Structure 1
Amino acid sequence: MSIEIRRASPPDLDALAPMFDAYRQFYEQRADAARARGFIAARLEAADSVILLALIDGRPAGFAQLFPSFSSVRTGLLWILNDLYVAGDCRQRGVGRALLSACVAHGEQTGAVGLQLETQRTNNVAQALYVEQGWEMDEEFCSFHYPLENHR
């Protein structure tokens, strides 16, 4: 078994869209293949995010999506690891670890001051992986969200 991680490009849309739809369903969104495809297609076309595609023996196995942001306090580029997904039949095979390592490498290559992510409090499996890989849980700051109804 060989895991390859590479930056996705528009020709990868067919591989990414179903995984992105499954990722959204994991977070209790209804299945919507067209919406998932449209969102990923727009990101790939605009190149406003970095999508890393994981392949096992050439077959799509997962992805990570990073969005650029900035830290005013640290005065530098900050990458938001917004999405991390491993296909169900590819879990427990090192794909998540490989994607996290590739995200960190991307941050280092771009001179970022850090990477940031958030996950559900109940997602203990992911949290254990993050800690194992050197990510630190924020115990100081609270995270707040303001939902806008037009995109539920």
Structure 2
Amino acid sequence: MNDLIVRIADDHDIDNIAGLFDLYRQFYGQESDCVLAYEFIKNRIEREEFVVFLAMEKGVSIGFCQLYPSFCSVDAMPIYILYDLYVKPEYRKHGVARKLMLAAEEHAIKSGKKRLELSTAKNNHSAQKLYESLGWVKDEVFLCYSRDVKG
């Protein structure tokens, strides 16, 4: 992938990111909803609620990575949560996800964040292999819980 470009997306990229975001949601078992995907991405970008990296190959959008700002109370430091990482299936195993992850890490360092955090599906072994190859460490101390509070 000699023509691979990874950059921070802006409001001109909403359509491209939204299309990828819809595919990402389908990967996790959601029905396609292009309007929902577009509105979600548009609102996040307009409100500057996240940082999203876009991977492009020869002008085609092929992947993205989203960082949400948060804080670690114990360290009293800002962090990023790497919540979404997606590469179109036909572009996987070519270093795209790796390049997105490295761009996210570089941005976190430049932004003065203490660390990056992420969670992944227990059966997403290819992603786990990538994360560990980049120095990410599996949390063996804490369990994660969630509770839906709206509809």
Q: Which runs of 5+ in 2 are unaligned?
A: none
Give 2:66's aligned amino acid.
Q
Extract structure 1 runs of 4+ deviating beyond 4 A: none
Give me the whole-angstrom Cα distance separating, in 1, the residues matched to 2:3 and 2:116: 26
Matches within 5 A, 1:107-126: 107-126=108-127
1:147 partnered with 2:138: no
In the aligned structure 2, how far is the partner of 1:14 from the partner of 1:71? 33
Deviations, residues 51-83 of structure 1 (Å, cap 9, x unaligned): 111111222110000000000111111100010
Q: TM-score, normalised to structure 2's length?
A: 0.96
AA of the residue aligned to 1:124: H
Amino acid at match of 2:142: F
Aligned to 1:82: 83
**Matched residue SS, 1:83:** strand
Distance, in Å, in 2 between the alignment partners of 1:93 and 1:148 is: 39
Paired with 1:38 and 1:86, the residues of 2 have a C-alpha distance of: 21
Report the Cα distance in structure 2 between the residues aligned to 1:85 and 1:147, rounded to whole angstroms: 24
Unaligned runs of 5+ in 1: none
The CA distance in 2 between the partners of 1:55 and 1:124, in whole Å, is 25
2-structure distance, mates of 1:137, 1:58: 35
Distance 1:117 1:12 in 2: 24
1:89-118 C-alpha deviation (Å, 9 max, x unpaired)? 211111000000001001100111100000
Q: CA RMSD, aligned part only?
A: 0.9
Alpha-carbon distance, 1:149 to partner: 4.0
**Aligned counterparts of 2:98 and 2:4: Cα–Cα separation in 1:** 11
Matched position secondary structure for 2:13: helix
Distance across 2 between alignment mates of 1:135 and 1:113: 14
Cα deviation code 1:7-44 (max 9, x no counterpart): 11111011111110010111111111110111001011
In the alignment, which residue of structure 1 is the partner of 2:63?
Answer: 62
